[in-house]
A and B are shown apart, each in its own frame.
Chain A
Amino acid sequence: MNLFDSLASASFYAVLVGVLATATLTVMVRNLFHAAIFLAFTLIGVAIVYLFLRAEFLAGIQILLYVGAIMTLVIFAIMLTSKIGDPQMPQSNRQGIPVLMALAAAGVFLVSMILKMPWNAALVIQKTDAVELGKALMGEFVLPFEIVSLVLLAAMIGAIVIARSDQ
């Protein structure tokens, strides 16, 4: 049985290394389209991590929404931006230092939050299935859920108003 455990943790760490490698490539490559491809691989890798943690529903939703829908939007954005396919295009602008400062502030905040969190790792990983998630969304967290759907509805109506041709 030990063999399987060690194999499972070895493959888990292999997936983690893969996620980190593709994430690094996403920000390192000069070609924006290649960066989008690596981002897709990163998101798939995160879904596999969810599978390892027995959050199967979340893994499926991760692929369906992030890889299926959001990556397509990213690709649309790349496609509709002119001259972006040209490999000679510089991929950076002169705002490097402000961006670095903002990111550093966000990083410090996130790290301090992570350090504050008491990580009570359960020995047995609890399985959360779609039924429990749905009950939680419709019971305990019904207010945030409704607010999010209202925001999305407002965004949708706004998009329609903007896209509508004025007569």
Chain B
Amino acid sequence: MENADQIFVILKRSLMTWAGVFLPDWSLVFLSILISIGAIAVFGPVTMMYLTLLERKLVGRIQNRYGPNRVGFWGLLQPIADGIKMLTKEDIIPEKADRFAHFLAPVVIVIPALLIFSVIPFGRGMVAVDLSIGLLFFLALSSTTTIWIFVAAWGSRNKFSLLGGMRAVAQMISYEIPMVLSVVPVLIVAGSFSTVAIVEAQSGLNWFVFTPWGIAGFLIFFLTGVAEVNRTPFDLPEGESEIVAGFHTEYSGMKFALFYMAEFMNTFSISAIVATVYLGGWQGPWLPSWVWFFAKTYALIFVMMWFRGTLPRLRVDQLMGFAWKFLLPLALVNLLIAGIWTEFKTPANNIVSSLILFAALVILYWANRPEIPKKRVYRYAYADE
């Protein structure tokens, strides 16, 4: 049991001991760093490849068809075939494009997506670096993605690209605010930015999602996370029925694949961070810690793909209204709820904070009710008077 839990840690340690026999001492530190970096650098792209397959299979099931099933058993080799196809495709740069921006954006956009993996605790003792600002590191890095999306859109010199880029910027700025505010209650309770400390604060079954502020915070964080990675129903920046493919209209071959890779790696990391922050990370009974972590993460990824299979795209005004008029006030009230929850004694705090949450939800629902405009009366528009 203990061995199964720590299998990857033991694997790394034994690799180090084995290498220590014939390598000098000073190089072992580099080797340790290299093993961690190598594991992440391989894990990120491989996860992305198989998430594309999982998504196609799941959406296929939802639409009552099989999905890819020709290449390999269950289509398991399909991502590799797709990768080879992407690498051999022609790299097209529009004649009027800003070559520097067009080249830079897909290259840089992958870096934050990969760096975020370094603070995700995959299991007990399985984190590449336990940064003291872990959660802030994640928020900061995910906020930089906006710029590169816009650089791609601007560099392409294409109307559809620019429209998609503008939509992406507007959407990501709006959803970033409730996203940052929704994790503040966790910081209040756990008293640390470190992802490892946050997971350890949820030991046993004391996951934050089981508290009144936790359930609200979890839903806000997850929904804003879905919006941040531009997935359905928040995929207006690449709405193919209106603006071709949005910001990556003019990209082909491997550059397009890099955008796709960043998007899927962000999908994974946002699910992993939501699971870490609110669902207890690797905490859980019986099973090894990393099994719990991956089960929770993939459950959230499954929900995202389920959204894609079932929900239509939002309208722009609905998108903005949802962020500014519903999620943002709820996130602010949630701060108060978390404060009350930590200050009061055990039975009273749950009751009081649940009541406030319920009242806030009722008021917000009432304030956001659809408004039916009055019938307009035109004074001068009627010709036959």
Contacts and interface: CB of A to CB of B under 8 A. Distances in A.
Range for the number of chain B residues in contact with chain A: 20 to 34
A64 B104 CA distance: 21
Range for the number of chain A residues in contact with chain B: 20 to 34
A40 B147 contact: yes
B101 A67 contact: no
- The DSSP consensus for interface residues of chain B is helix
A69 B144 CA distance: 9
Contacts of B133: 56-57, 59-60, 130
Interface of B: 26, 29, 98, 100-101, 104, 131-133, 136-137, 139-141, 143-144, 146-147, 150-151, 154, 157, 166, 169, 173, 176, 180, 191, 193
Given A33-B98, A37-B104, A63-B141, 9 more contacts: A34-B98, A34-B101, A47-B140, A57-B193, A64-B139, A64-B140, A67-B147, A68-B146, A85-B157
B112 to A, nearest CB: 9
A152 to B, nearest CB: 14
Interface of A: 3-4, 31, 33-34, 37, 40, 44, 47, 56-57, 59-61, 63-64, 67-69, 71-72, 75-76, 79, 85, 129-131
A44 B144 CA distance: 10
8 residue pairs, one from A and one from B, having the closest CB atoms? A68-B143, A60-B136, A63-B140, A64-B140, A56-B133, A60-B133, A60-B140, A67-B144
B266 to A, nearest CB: 15
A75 B169 contact: yes
Contacts of A40: 144, 147
A39 B240 CA distance: 32
A64 B169 contact: no
14 contacts: A33-B101, A33-B151, A34-B98, A37-B100, A37-B104, A47-B140, A63-B144, A67-B144, A68-B143, A69-B143, A72-B150, A72-B169, A85-B157, A130-B133
Contacts of B150: 72, 75, 79
A163 to B, nearest CB: 13
A71 B147 contact: yes
A64 B150 CA distance: 17
Contact of A37 (B101, B132, B180): B101
B139 A33 contact: no
A60 B142 CA distance: 11
A130 B184 CA distance: 13
Nearest to A56: B133
A67 B169 contact: no
Contacts of A63: 140-141, 143-144
Contacts of B193: 57, 60, 130
Given A4-B29, A72-B173, A129-B132, A67 B143 contact: yes
